[in-house]
Structures are given as structure tokens and as C-alpha cells.
Chain A
Amino acid sequence: MPPPRSIQKARIHPLGDTALLAELGSRLDTALNTRAIGLAGALRKRRDVRQAIAGYSSVTVHFDPDQATHESLGAAIKRLAAKRPKMEIPGRLHRIPVEYDGPDLEDVASELGLSIEAVVAAHTHPIYRVFLVGFVPGWAYLGPLPEELELPRRHVPRTHVAAGSVAIAGRQTGIYPLPVPGGWHLIGRSSVKLFLPDSDPPCLFRAGDRVKFFASRKTS
């Protein structure tokens, strides 16, 4: 059960003259993320809103400055947030096969004081939430990662992480959809395509989806 929460009002920060950040909280919390996704969906229906994107616990709102100000929209967002609009599209469950053979797997296990089998068991145990999709096309921030797997990011980020790498950092996990630089610990690989440029939407995961990893047998 999540801990009880006091009803917290949304905090509104300008993000330049045509956007704002509405913060619902500052904790990595599935319930808070559900509220953010619901609020973003409700805001997208407003005529003065051009786009609303849920973060972990916030919503970034792009608005039409000819129709709204930070103050007018901010007040409307506070009222709307208090009503806790529901997530419109129910999250789907994705089962993702992973080959646990990442270049950091042994280091991760020894740093955590766990066996490799225990790391794999802990990583495949939860059903993770897709908190948000972003950073690069197809990337999804998944979590919360079990506490026993919590590690800070690598001191020196890699300049190149291969697409399909399954990684962990902090209370988060994710799969690199494209070859990009990255500072997370690479524990495995998945062949599932996350960035689907010829589909619309062009990514497999949506905010609010759930993801369960399972260890796939190695082809030897």
C-alpha cells in the first residue's frame, strides 16, 4: 500500500512565455504519476492548451499565449488537479524477454552484494509502470526498481550504448531504443523494438502502461 498522502496543491512554474510546469509532487510514486497522466489527458482537451505531457509527478503544458496566461491557466490547472481526472486509456501490459548478459551485470551483482541469479530474480519480479516516454524516441522510464537493486549512475557515462540494452539506475529501469550515450548500468539485452518510426504513435510503450520482464533462454 502506498503511504497516505496529504492533498497537495499543484505548484505552477512558468517555462518561458508559452509553457508551464505543473508539479504535483516530487516523489517517485506510481499514484502520483497516475494523477499526472490523468491531468495531462484532461488538459489536452482545452482549447488554450497545445500539448500537455506528463512527467513522473508533473505535467509540462504548452499553451496558446493569445488565449491564456500562466495565471489563468495555472488557476484552471489547480482546480482541475483537485478533481483528479482519471487516466483515459488503461495501461496495457507488455511482457518483454531479456537476455541477462549485460556488460555491467557482474559489477552490479558484486556492488549490490548479490548473486547474478538474485539480480535477475529481483529485476524480473515486479510489474513496472511506464512513468513517461521521452528523452529519446521510444525511451520509457520504468519503475520503481526494487530497493535491493538501487545503485547510483555510473561515474563515467558511456559515449555509446547499444540499442536494446536493458539498464538500471536509481529506482529506475529502461531499455535503450537507439544507440545513444548513457550513464545507466547495462544488465541485459532485449530484441523488442521500442521505437517504431513507421507506426503512429511511433513507440511501443505509452505512459501508464505496465511492463514485466522475463529471462529468455540464451540460444547457444
Chain B
Amino acid sequence: MLRVVEPGFQTTLQDLGRPAAIAAGVPPGGAMDRFAHRAANLIAGNSPQDATLECTMSGPSLVARESCLIAITGGDFEPCVNGAPMPMWTAAFLGPGDRLTFGPRRSGARAYIAVAGGFEGERWLGSRSTSLMAGRGGIHGRALARGDELALAAERSAPAVAGRHLPPTLRTAYSDQTLHAMPGPHLRRLDVESRRLLFSAPFTVSRDADRMGYRLEGPGLATSGEELLSFGLVAGALQVPRSGQPILLMADHQTAGGYPVAAVVISASMPIAAQLAPGDSVRFVQTTAAEANRRRLALSAALATLSAP
């Protein structure tokens, strides 16, 4: 259906992950930016569970073998069809032989490509998401490679409409690198000054940043107390190891650990976190469950505008 001419830096098939597998120690996985992933699917007339291509830092070059409808969301890597700019967050038809390419990265770190009907991929533990660690799911458990042929999972059920789009006001503002976070269970293990710094100082995403998590550089955070007994972790958890340099857990996070969790980034801020690249600056703003819910519902409402007939 689509042939891979160039794979891009790291392009993997992702859906909403395999949350049931965390009981076996398997990372939940799935799209890092769930808002962009869902939006791409809905714009293409798919279900949010369908698989999209997650393109990291650069996009692939794909050639359509047959006509299809696609949507691209998330970070802006300047998508083009046959060399002409293609609007993002908007459904567009590709005819046989049309070539989708990407230019330089303008914003964000991850772009999502949906195709009407959804991408076919190997299911592992109930999900088509690629687990690079396990080498399972998606396209042979690995990132896209030159020459791969990407097939459709199904004939599209909803009529595909070119031009369907999400207005700019409803999209995530990736330039706003502020992450709203609720106090974590072990915030009190940080001394008073460290707590103040956590919610005020800028941190920088280090080069050690991938789908598992981001090591952040910034003021050292001092923790006290004995080693914790390991417990189940969640994406968005901000762990503070003894080094004092926090680690933000992302989609392929380790499922259990014993470092203090000082804060947890709220679900509505995770799309912003997913679009951070090494070298980006980020701040944490303390928030409440009520405010987190308000932001979560605003994102749901934005997506609901795409579900309407």
C-alpha cells in the first residue's frame, strides 16, 4: 500500500499500547503523544485504537502504491506531497505513485502519520505497538527500514473525507514547554529548597532521552530517607535518584522501581512532554487533580469535534 523509500531517524508503528502487559513487567508502550495519535486517526476516519506511524526527529519518505487518505499530526517536520507542502492536522489524498517526504524539524520531536483503514502490523500482547526492547509488535518488532511495504489493517469503515481538519486553536501548542504536574507520593523526601526548585527552575532534556524516559539536567534535587520498596510506576512519573537529576518516565517506561516519585505529569501535559527533544528547556508547574481534569476534558472536547459526522 505504502512503500518505504527512506525510513527516517526512528519511525515505529504505535497504537494505544498494551496496558495489561505491565503485570508481566512489559512496558505499556504505545504512541508517546496520544493526542496527536488520536487526532491523526480521527482525521483519517479511523478509530483511536488504530496504528499510526510515530516519526522521531525526522520523517520517512513513502510512496503510495494505491490511492489512500492520510493525516499527519504532532511535531512539524514540513511534510510534502510530490514536493508541495502538505497541511498538517488535515486529511489529504495520495494517488498511486505520490511521494510523501519530510523537510527539517520546525517544532516538536514526533510526528504521526495515519492512513484511512489504519496500518497493519504484528500484534503482540494485544497491541500493534512496536516494542524495540522486546523486538515484538508493529513491523517485525523494529523501526521502519528501507523497502518495507506497509499494508492497511482494514478497509476503512467511516467514509474518508479529504480536508477534514483540527483547527489550530484546538491543537497542542508544542512551543509551550511547561508541564503541569501533581505532587507525587514521595515529594516530601525532597528538602524544602529542592521542592521549590522542582516547581520553578528550568530543566534541560539531556541526550539520554528516548521512548523509555528522559534524563533531565538542572539543579540537583536532594532526597532523603531509606531506599523504597519497589512499586508500580506510571508514565509521567518524575523519579529522583540519588544523583538528584530527575528522570521523566515516558511510554516505554520500566514498570516498577524504587526511586522516590516527586511529581507526576498530568495526562493532558504528556503530549507536550512527548514532543520534547534533547536540549529543550522544560518547567514543571504544580497543579491539582481538578485542574488536571479540566485540561484533560478540554483535549477530549477537541478530539470530539473530529468524531462528529
Contact = CB atoms under 8 A, between A and B. Distances in A.
Interface of A: 13-19, 21, 23, 26-28, 50-51, 53-60, 62, 65, 69-70, 131-141, 170, 178, 195, 197, 200-203, 207
Contacts of A60: 231-234
Nearest to A28: B229
Size class of the contact patch on chain B: 35 or more
Given A16-B236, A53-B22, A70-B289, A132 B185 contact: no
B19 A50 contact: yes
A53 B232 contact: yes
Contacts of A27: 229
Contacts of A134: 22, 25, 230, 232, 254-256
A15 B255 contact: no
Given A135-B254, A137-B26, A15 B267 contact: no
Interface in B11-40: 19-27
B264 A57 contact: no
Task: Give the one of A17, A21, A51, A132 with max B CB within 10 A.
Answer: A17
30 contacts: A13-B185, A14-B182, A14-B185, A14-B289, A15-B184, A15-B264, A16-B236, A17-B182, A17-B293, A17-B296, A21-B232, A26-B229, A51-B19, A51-B22, A53-B255, A55-B229, A60-B232, A132-B230, A132-B232, A134-B230, A134-B254, A135-B25, A135-B256, A137-B25, A138-B24, A141-B230, A197-B135, A202-B125, A203-B24, A207-B23
Contacts of A59: 232
B227 to A, nearest CB: 7
Interface of B: 19-27, 124-125, 133-136, 181-185, 227-234, 236-237, 254-257, 261, 264-268, 289, 292-293, 296
Given A15-B184, A55-B229, 9 more contacts: A14-B185, A16-B237, A19-B234, A55-B230, A56-B231, A137-B134, A197-B124, A200-B125, A202-B26
Contacts of B27: 137
A197 B136 contact: yes
A12 B227 CA distance: 20
Contacts of B184: 13, 15
B293 A51 contact: no
Contacts of B266: 16-17
A131 B22 CA distance: 15
B182 to A, nearest CB: 6
A136 B232 CA distance: 12
Contacts of A21: 185, 231-232
A170 B228 CA distance: 12
A16 B234 contact: yes
B229 A56 contact: yes
A16 B182 contact: yes
B185 A136 contact: no
Contacts of B292: 16-17
Contacts of B24: 133, 137-138, 201-203
Q: Which 5 A-B pairs have the closest CB atoms?
A: A60-B232, A134-B256, A55-B231, A16-B264, A13-B185
Contacts of A137: 24-27, 133-134
A138 B136 CA distance: 15
B134 A17 contact: no
Contacts of B134: 137, 195, 197, 202
Contacts of B254: 134-136
A140 B24 CA distance: 9
Contacts of A58: 229, 231-232
Contact of B289 (A17, A55, A200, A207): A17
A132 B256 CA distance: 9
Contact of B267 (A18, A23, A70, A135): A18
A24 B170 CA distance: 42
Nearest to A60: B232
Contacts of B289: 14, 17, 69-70
A136 B25 contact: yes
Nearest to B229: A56
A141 to B, nearest CB: 6
Contacts of B125: 200, 202
A56 B230 contact: yes
Contacts of A51: 19-20, 22-23
